[in-house]
Structure 1
Amino acid sequence: MTDATAVEERPLAASEAAFVSFGTPIHFSQRLYGRLDLDALASAVEDLLVLHPVLSARIVASDQGHVLRLDPSVPGPRLGVADGGDEAGSPYAPDTPLFRVVVTEEAEDRHRLALSVHHAISDGVSALTLLHTLWRSYSARVAGRAPVLPPRTAGLPRPVEEHFRARFSAEELHDFLRNRSAKIRDLVPACIPACAAGRSTGAQAGVHRRRVPLSAGSVDQLTCAAKAARMSLHALACGIALCAVHSQTPFPDGTVPMTCLSALDLRRRFRPPMSMHEMVLAATASQAVVEVGPDCHPLGIGRRVLEQLREAVLNNTVQKAIAATAELMDEVAHAPISVLVSDLTTKTPPLQLPPDLSSGPIDGCALPPGPLPSVFLTGSQDDTAGLDITLVMAADWFTARQADDLAEAIEGAVHRALRE
């Protein structure tokens, strides 16, 4: 077998395999204004496939479970052109390419571009970095220059669990799992009822997605409020999300325990740190448990979330959790969660676009694998320096009305954080 047809494969790690049954995509979309050169865009997509061979891989079933397989003889992904809809945001079927870029023409000078990567091989940071690399390549090509791109990777990346598991002994991980189980054994967090569950015999297609845009002035005020309270914008977003979700639970007038998952980038935890250009699932979700009542302020709740996140990083809870993912999978799959918050605002510098093309806000999210309201923060791509809060709720579990109500509650929690 020649190098051109060599097949490379490896088993999926537990954290990667968790997204297989749902076919979970990490999805970014944007509206483009101006002249779009489809030939240059198709070439830019090809550049990404050369940079990251894993984008041409597939997930296939084997006797040992699911494996990630790279077979150059199998057709890889290409730029897609759609008449409408959101093909890039749909779940990934087994044994299909793990990467999509789809462009839809809305008018002669207006297009919608959607990019998605299977969550098993990517996280929000690497997927968004991929979008930036796409436009860097495109801009160079329409200007007649050779793209200056990151170093090319070779073959399939190794799962991050291997890196972190090597840091801890079996005894350390056993003690971690025992202590964790004792802490959450009797925890029953307040959650939004899954009103759509069981309404049909099969899974409903898609999600309810709601966008809450914030002006540059509002973002400045939120940032100043967070800094004054010695906390991050992410932590304040967690407080806003928990306040909003609390108002939609069966206990809006009571004080109840709630759980918030925060998506954390693990790249800085590597030795040496991992580049954002690495196409791999290098993120995890850290859980904070807080008591939330109707009179709680988003800043106060966010501060308690931040304290727990800092402790989880300092005492290696985050690192041990990713190292012990295989042992935690059953617990994670069945534990109710109040909300997940993922902040990509610090990872979204302005795109490198040619002078005759501009972009509207980037809408970013990952489809939630269950009854878990998910909140994603992304920065705007224009001169307003605003912020978009994207709410995503799976239609399998929640109704459109529930999504509307929670989006309205998020707006209310934002105004409360600004007002007080």
Structure 2
Amino acid sequence: MTDATAVEERPLAASEAAFASFGTPIHFGQRLYGRLELDALASAVEDLLVLHPVLSARIVAADKGHVLRLDPSVPGPRLGMGGGIDAIGAPYAPDTPLFRAALTEEARDRYRLALSVHHAVSDGVSALTLLHTLWRSYSSRVTGRMPVLPPPTAGLPRPVEEHFRARFSAEELNDFLRDRAAKARDLVPACVPALAAGRGTGVRAGVHRRRVPLSAQTVDRLTRTAKAARMSLHTLLCGIALRAVHSQTPSPDGTHPMTYLSALDLRRRCRPPLSMHEMVLAATAWQAVVEVGPDCHPVGIGRRVLEQLREAVLNNTVQKAIAATPELMDEVAHAPISVLVSDMATKTPPLELPPDLRSGPIDGCAVPPGPLPSVFLTGSQDDTAGLDITLIMAADWFTARQADDLADAIGEAVHRALRE
């Protein structure tokens, strides 16, 4: 066998294996308006596969868990044309490529593009950067220029957990795990009840997706509110989400502990640091616990989240949690969480599109397993400077009415955040 056809293989890391079990995709969709050259778009997809061989890899069962396997002799993914676009965001089956892309023409000069990447080998940063690279390549091709792209990677990426495991002794990690278990032992967070559980919806029955649009004026006011409180827009959104979820719990008039989960980018914490172009799962789920009552203001809730994040970074809690991922996976999989919040609006610059093509808002999400309402902040690609809050709730656990009510509560919490 020559090197060109050599099979590369490695076991999945603990964090990767968690997403492999559910086939979790990170999914993006967008509408395009104007002139679109299909051959150039297909070639841009090919560019992505050259830059990131892991996109053509597969996750296959092994004697002990799963392995990530790259076999150049097996056909890789291609841009799909026409039907099947709604299946792009479906869970990945074992032994299939870890990337999908599809395009459909909805009307003259109006298209819908969807792509997804398996969460086991990607995170929000690298997936968004992949979309940005796709359009940079496309724009270069249709304007007669050679695409200026990042350097291609070779083979399979190294698991990010390996960057952190050697930083701490076994004693340090054991102390960390004991302390964490003690704090979580009696914690019962307030959560939205899973009213659809057991109703025969079937495994992976889909999601309820609700959009809460934020006008440019509202975004400006929220940004100024966050700045005045010395926090980021993302942290303010955490306060908004927790405030909204609290109103939908069984005891909205009481004060209860709530758990907030968010993806924390690890790239700058690796040695050496990883670039945004690295196609790898380089994020960890960071958790905060805050007391929320009916009179708590979203700004105050967000400030408490920020204080815990700062403390976790300063005392190495974040790094220890990554290093101890194998030991924490069972806890993470079964611990009840009130809400997940992810900012997908500020990770990449605007898409580089040719003058005769315009993109609508990018709709992106990753559906977590279990009864966990997920809130995503996504940006617009036009000149309105608006943002969307996208709510995702799994239909296996929640009803459509619950999604409607929580979306309304998020809208109310936004207005409350802007009131004194």
Return the TM-score normalized by structure 1.
0.98
Q: Distance in 1 between matches of 2:271 and 2:329?
A: 26
Asked if structure 2 preserves the Cα contact closer than 8 Å seen for 1:101 and 1:116, the reply is: yes
SS of the residue 1:264 aligns to: strand
Provide the alpha-carbon RMSD of the alignment: 1.0
1:295-374 equivalence runs, <5 A: 295-374=295-374
SS of the residue 1:257 aligns to: strand
Instruction: Say if 2:117 is the partner of 1:149.
Output: no
Q: Distance in 1 between matches of 2:356 and 2:7?
A: 42
Q: Which residue is equivalent to 1:259?
A: 259
Q: Which residue is equivalent to 2:216?
A: 216
Q: Distance in 1 between matches of 2:257 and 2:112?
A: 41
SS of the residue 1:408 aligns to: helix
Asked if structure 1 preserves the Cα contact closer than 8 Å seen for 2:31 and 2:111, the reply is: yes
1:79-90 equivalence runs, <5 A: 79-83=79-83, 86-90=86-90
Q: Which residue is equivalent to 1:116?
A: 116
What does the per-residue CA deviation read over 1:88-110, in whole Å, with 9 as the maximum and x for residues that have no partner? 11110111010011112111111
Q: Distance in 2 between matches of 1:16 and 1:84?
A: 27
Instruction: Say if 2:42 is the partner of 1:37.
Output: no
SS of the residue 2:100 aligns to: strand
Letter in 2 for 1:157: P
Q: Distance in 2 between matches of 1:166 and 1:389?
A: 39
Q: CA deviation at 1:87?
A: 1.8
Report percent identity of matched pairs.
87
What does the per-residue CA deviation read over 1:123-179, in whole Å, with 9 as the maximum and x for residues that have no partner? 000000000000000000111211110011000001000111011111111110000
Asked if structure 2 preserves the Cα contact closer than 8 Å seen for 1:196 and 1:395, the reply is: yes
Q: CA deviation at 1:85?
A: 5.2
Asked if structure 2 preserves the Cα contact closer than 8 Å seen for 1:208 and 1:400, the reply is: yes
Asked if structure 1 preserves the Cα contact closer than 8 Å seen for 2:243 and 2:297, the reply is: yes
Q: Distance in 1 between matches of 2:4 and 2:84?
A: 36
Q: Which residue is equivalent to 1:284?
A: 284
Q: Which residue is equivalent to 1:186?
A: 186
Q: Distance in 2 between matches of 1:320 and 1:289?
A: 18
Query: Which piece of structure 1 moves more, 261-270 or 125-134?
Result: 261-270
SS of the residue 1:301 aligns to: helix
Q: Distance in 2 between matches of 1:290 and 1:202?
A: 33
Q: Distance in 2 between matches of 1:390 and 1:86?
A: 18
Letter in 2 for 1:14: A
Q: Distance in 1 between matches of 2:204 and 2:169?
A: 43
What does the per-residue CA deviation read over 1:238-294, in whole Å, with 9 as the maximum and x for residues that have no partner? 000000000110011111110001211011112332100000000011111011111
Instruction: Say if 2:350 is the partner of 1:387.
Output: no
Q: CA deviation at 1:379?
A: 1.5
Asked if structure 2 preserves the Cα contact closer than 8 Å seen for 1:235 and 1:303, the reply is: yes
Letter in 2 for 1:102: A
Asked if structure 1 preserves the Cα contact closer than 8 Å seen for 2:201 and 2:396, the reply is: no
Instruction: Say if 2:27 is the partner of 1:46.
Output: no
Asked if structure 2 preserves the Cα contact closer than 8 Å seen for 1:348 and 1:378, the reply is: no
Q: Which residue is equivalent to 1:230?
A: 230
Q: Distance in 2 between matches of 1:82 and 1:205?
A: 24
Q: CA deviation at 1:202?
A: 2.9
Q: Distance in 2 between matches of 1:203 and 1:336?
A: 19
SS of the residue 1:160 aligns to: coil
Query: Which piece of structure 1 moves more, 129-138 or 16-25?
Result: 16-25
1:92-171 equivalence runs, <5 A: 92-171=92-171
Asked if structure 1 preserves the Cα contact closer than 8 Å seen for 2:192 and 2:245, the reply is: yes
Query: Which piece of structure 1 moves more, 211-220 or 181-190?
Result: 211-220
Cα 1:381/1:201, change in 2 over 3 Å: closer
Asked if structure 2 preserves the Cα contact closer than 8 Å seen for 1:83 and 1:105, the reply is: no
What does the per-residue CA deviation read over 1:177-201, in whole Å, with 9 as the maximum and x for residues that have no partner? 0000001110000000111111117
Q: Which residue is equivalent to 1:378?
A: 378
Q: Distance in 1 between matches of 2:38 and 2:405?
A: 39
Letter in 2 for 1:90: A
Asked if structure 2 preserves the Cα contact closer than 8 Å seen for 1:189 and 1:256, the reply is: yes
Q: Which residue is equivalent to 2:409?
A: 409
Q: Distance in 2 between matches of 1:204 and 1:286?
A: 25
Q: Distance in 1 between matches of 2:398 and 2:77?
A: 32
Q: Distance in 1 between matches of 2:378 and 2:276?
A: 16
1:50-89 equivalence runs, <5 A: 50-83=50-83, 86-89=86-89
Unpaired runs of at least 5, structure 1: none
SS of the residue 1:89 aligns to: coil
Asked if structure 2 preserves the Cα contact closer than 8 Å seen for 1:368 and 1:393, the reply is: no
Return the TM-score normalized by structure 2.
0.98
